[in-house]
Chains A and B, each alone.
Chain A
Amino acid sequence: MEAVHEHDHGHDHPSGIMRWVTTTNHKDIGTMYLWFSFTMFLVGGVMALVIRAELFQPGLQVVEPEFFNQMTTLHGLIMVFGAIMPAFVGFANWQIPMMIGAPDMAFPRMNNWSFWLLPPAAMLLVISMFVPGGSAGVGWTLYAPLTVQQGMGMDLVIFAVHILGMSSIMGSINIITTILNMRAPGMTMMKMPLFVWTWLITAYLLIAAMPVLAGAVTMTLTDRHFGTNFFNAAGGGDPVLFQHIFWFFGHPEVYIIAIPAFGVVSQVLPAFSRKPLFGYASMVYATASIAILSFLVWAHHMYTVGMPVEAQLYYMFATMLIAVPTGVKVFNWVATMWKGSLTFETPMLFAIGFLFLFTLGGFTGLVLSLTPVDVQLHDTYYVVAHFHYVMVAGALFSAFAGVYFWLPKWIGKMYDEKLGKLHFWLSIIFFNVTFFVQHFSGLAGMPRRIPDYALQFADFNMISSIGAFGFGLSQLLFLYILVKAIRSGEKAPEKPWEGADTLEWTHLPTPAPYHSFETPPTVK
Chain B
Amino acid sequence: MWTVAAGEGAQFAIVSRRNNSSSQHARLLVFGSLGLFTLSVGIGFALIGAWPVMPFAGIECVALFLAYRWLQSHDDDFELITIDADHVVVQARDGSKVERHQLNRHWAQVVTEESPGGRVRVFLRVHGREVDFGRLLVDDARLSLAKRLREQLSRPVDS
Contacts and interface: CB of A to CB of B under 8 A. Distances in A.
B19 A4 contact: no
Interface stretch (B42-50, B85-93, B98-106): B42-50
A212 B139 contact: no
A8 B140 contact: yes
A177 B21 CA distance: 10
Contact of B71 (A22, A169, A177): A177
Contact of A4 (B55, B59, B67, B144): B144
A11 B3 contact: no
Nearest to B67: A173
B127 to A, nearest CB: 28
B122 to A, nearest CB: 11
B138 A181 contact: no
A18 B118 contact: yes
Interface string B20-60: 11100011001000100110011001001110111111011
A10 B114 CA distance: 13
A460 to B, nearest CB: 40
Given A207-B64, A215-B53, A519-B1, A8 B143 contact: yes
B2 A7 contact: no
B108 interface: no
B151 to A, nearest CB: 12
Contact of A207 (B1, B27, B60): B60
A103 interface: yes
B6 interface: no
B51 to A, nearest CB: 8
A178 B96 CA distance: 22
A513 B138 CA distance: 12
Contact of A1 (B4, B49, B117): B4
B120 interface: yes
B-side binding surface: helix, strand, loop or mixed? helix
A211 B53 contact: yes
A85 to B, nearest CB: 17
Nearest to A103: B138
Contact of A180 (B22, B55, B64): B22
A204 B36 CA distance: 12
A323 to B, nearest CB: 25
Given A207-B38, A207-B64, A518 B56 contact: no
A18 B5 CA distance: 41
Contacts of A107: 67, 70
A518 B118 contact: no
A184 interface: yes
Contact of A7 (B53, B70, B144): B144
A210 B3 contact: no
Given A22-B117, A104-B138, A211 B144 contact: no
Nearest to B15: A1
Interface in A213-253: 214-216, 218-219, 222, 230, 238, 241, 244-245, 248
Interface in A159-204: 169-170, 173, 176-177, 180-185, 187, 204
Contacts of B63: 169-170, 173
A214 B50 CA distance: 11
Q: Which of B53, B143, B147 has the most CB of A within 10 A?
A: B53
A169 B71 CA distance: 17
A515 B138 contact: yes
Contacts of A8: 140, 143-144, 147
B133 to A, nearest CB: 14
24 contacts: A4-B1, A4-B3, A6-B144, A8-B144, A13-B118, A13-B139, A14-B117, A15-B118, A18-B117, A23-B117, A173-B63, A180-B21, A180-B27, A180-B30, A181-B27, A181-B71, A210-B56, A210-B60, A211-B41, A212-B41, A218-B56, A241-B49, A518-B137, A518-B140
Given A180-B27, A222-B52, A515-B139, 6 more contacts: A3-B3, A14-B119, A107-B67, A211-B56, A515-B140, A519-B141
The 10 closest A-B pairs by CB, nearest first: A14-B118, A215-B53, A211-B56, A22-B117, A518-B141, A183-B21, A214-B56, A8-B143, A515-B138, A515-B140
